[in-house]
Structure 1
Amino acid sequence: MTTFVDRVELHVAAGNGGHGCASVHREKFKPLGGPDGGNGGRGGDVILVVDQSVTTLLEYHHSPHRKATNGQPGAGDNRSGKDGQDLVLTVPDGTVVLDKQGNVLADLVGEGTTFIAGQGGRGGLGNAALASARRKAPGFALLGEPGEARDIVLELKTVADVALVGYPSAGKSSLISVLSAAKPKIADYPFTTLVPNLGVVTAGSTVYTIADVPGLIPGASQGRGLGLEFLRHVERCSVLVHVLDTATLESDRDPVSDLDVIEEELKQYGGLEDRPRIVVLNKIDIPDGQDLADMIRPDLEARGYQVYEASAVARTGLKELSFALADIVSKARAAKPKEEATRIVIRPKAVDDTGFTVVYDETEEVYRVRGEKPERWVRQTDFNNDEAVGYLADRLNRLGVEDALMKAGARAGDGVAIGSEENAVVFDWEPTMMAGAEMLGRRGEDHRLEAPRPAAQRRRDRDAERDDAQREFDDFNPF
Structure 2
Amino acid sequence: MAIPSFVDQVTLEVAGGNGGHGCASVHREKFKPLGGPDGGNGGHGGSVILRVDSGLTTLVDYHRSNKRRATNGQPGKGDHQNGANGDDIVLKVPEGTVVSDAETGEVLADLTGPGTEFVVAAGGRGGLGNAALATSARKAPGFALLGEEGEARTVTLELKVVADVGLVGFPSAGKSSLIAAISRARPKIADYPFTTLVPNLGVVVAGDTTFTVADVPGLIEGASLGKGLGLDFLRHIERCAALVHVIDTATFEPGRDPLSDLDVIEAELAAHGGLEDRPRLVALNKVDVPDGHDLVDLVLEDVKARGMRTFVISTKTGEGLRALTYAMADLVEQRRANAPEPEAPRIVIRPKPVDGGDSFTIRQMGDGEGGFIWRVRGDKPERWVRQTDFTNAEAVGYLADRLNRIGIEDELLRLGAHAGDAVAIGGEDAVVFDFAPQIEGGAEILGRRGEDVRLEHERPAAVRRREKDADYHARKAAGDGDGDDA
User: Per-residue deviation at 1:437?
Assistant: 6.7
Q: Which runs of 5+ in 1 are unaligned?
A: 344-348, 446-479
CA offsets, 1:152-181, max 9 Å, x none? 100000000010001111111111111111
Query: Structure 1: which amino acid aligns with 2:10?
Result: V
Q: Measured at CA, do residues 203 and 186 of structure 1 come closer, stay the same or move farther in structure 2, by a change above 3 Å?
A: same
**What is aligned with 2:74?**
72
Q: Is the 8 A contact 1:135 1:437 kept in 2?
A: no
| Larger mean Cα displacement after TM superposition, 55-64 or 334-343 | 334-343
Kindly indicate whether the alpha-carbon contact (under 8 Å) linking 1:34 and 1:137 is maintained by their aligned counterparts in 2.
yes
Question: What letter corresponds to residue 194 of structure 1 in structure 2?
Answer: L
Tell me, yes or no, if structure 1 residue 398 matches structure 2 residue 405.
yes
Q: Tell me the residue number matched to 2:388.
A: 381
- Give how far 1:300 is off: 1.5
Contact 1:96 1:108 in 2 (8 A): yes
CA spacing shift, 1:59–1:7, aligned 2, 3 Å: same
CA distance in 1, matches of 2:345, 2:56: 27
- Alignment of 1:271 with 2:271, yes or no, is no
Note the 1:164-243 alignment, pairs <5 A: 164-243=167-246
Q: Deviations over 1:444-464 (max 9, x none)?
A: 89xxxxxxxxxxxxxxxxxxx
CA-based RMSD: 2.0
2 CA distance for matches of 1:437 and 1:413?
18
Matching residue's letter, 1:424: A
Counterpart residue number, 1:324: 327
Match of 2:363 among 356, 359, 382: 359
Tell me, in whole angstroms, the C-alpha distance in 2 between the residues paired with 1:431 and 1:41. 35
Contact kept, 8 Å, 2:218 with 2:233, in 1: the verdict is no
Q: Which residue of 2 aligns with 1:476?
A: none
Relative distance call for 1:89 and 1:190 in structure 2 (3 A) is same
Amino acid at match of 1:355: S
1:449 counterpart residue number: none
2:276, 2:260 → 1: CA distance? 19
Q: Contact (CA 8 Å) 1:359, 1:408: kept in 2 or not?
A: no
Hey, what does 2:432 align to over in structure 1? 426
Q: Distance in 1 between matches of 2:345 and 2:416?
A: 47
Aligned to 2:15: 13
Q: What is the distance in 2 between the residues matched to 1:173 and 1:356?
A: 58
SS at match of 1:256: helix
Runs ≥4 residues deviating over 6 A: 435-439
Change beyond 3 A, Cα 1:102–1:430: same
Render the CA deviation track for 1:400-445: whole Å, top value 9, x for unaligned.
Answer: 111111112111111111000x211012111115679797249489
Contact 2:445 2:453 in 1 (8 A): no
Deviates more, 1:263-272 or 1:428-437: 428-437
Residues 209-239 of structure 1: CA distance to partner in whole angstroms, max 9, x if unpaired?
1000113111110100100000000000011
> How many residues were matched structurally?
438
8 Å Cα contact 1:394-1:436 kept in structure 2: no
Q: Percent identity?
A: 65
How far the C-alpha of 1:341 sits from its partner, in A, is: 7.4
Look up the equivalent residue of 1:425 and give its one-letter code. Answer: V
Q: CA deviation at 1:102?
A: 1.5
Residues 371-396 of structure 1: CA deviation (Å, up to 9, x unaligned): 00000000000011111111101111
Aligned to 1:59, the other structure's residue is in SS state helix
What secondary structure sits across from 2:301 in the alignment? helix
Structure 1: how far apart are the matches of 2:379 and 2:242? 47
- In the aligned structure 2, how far is the partner of 1:236 from the partner of 1:363? 54
The CA deviation at 1:56 is: 0.6
- State how far apart, in whole Å, the 2-side matches of 1:186 and 1:435 are: 75
Q: Does 1:414 align with 2:421?
A: yes
Q: SS of the counterpart of 1:106?
A: strand
**Which structure exhibits the higher relative contact order, with contacts defined as CA atoms closer than 8 Å and separated by 6 or more residues?**
2
The answer as to whether partners of 1:169 and 1:215 remain within 8 angstroms in 2 is: no
Distance of 1:104 and 1:177 partners within structure 2: 35
How do 1:27-106 residues align onto structure 2 when only pairs under 5 Å count? Answer: 27-100=29-102, 101-106=104-109
Secondary structure of the residue that 1:324 maps to in structure 2? helix
Change (3 A) 1:115 1:342: closer
Q: Give structure 2 stretches of 5+ with no counterpart.
A: 347-353, 455-486
Matching residue's letter, 1:30: K
Q: 2:284 aligns with which of 281, 284, 300?
A: 281
> Contact 2:421–2:435 (CA<8 Å) still a contact in 1?
yes
Look up the SS of the partner of 1:362 in the other structure. strand
Please state whether the residue corresponding to 1:62 is helix, strand or coil: coil
2:265 aligns to what SS in structure 1? helix
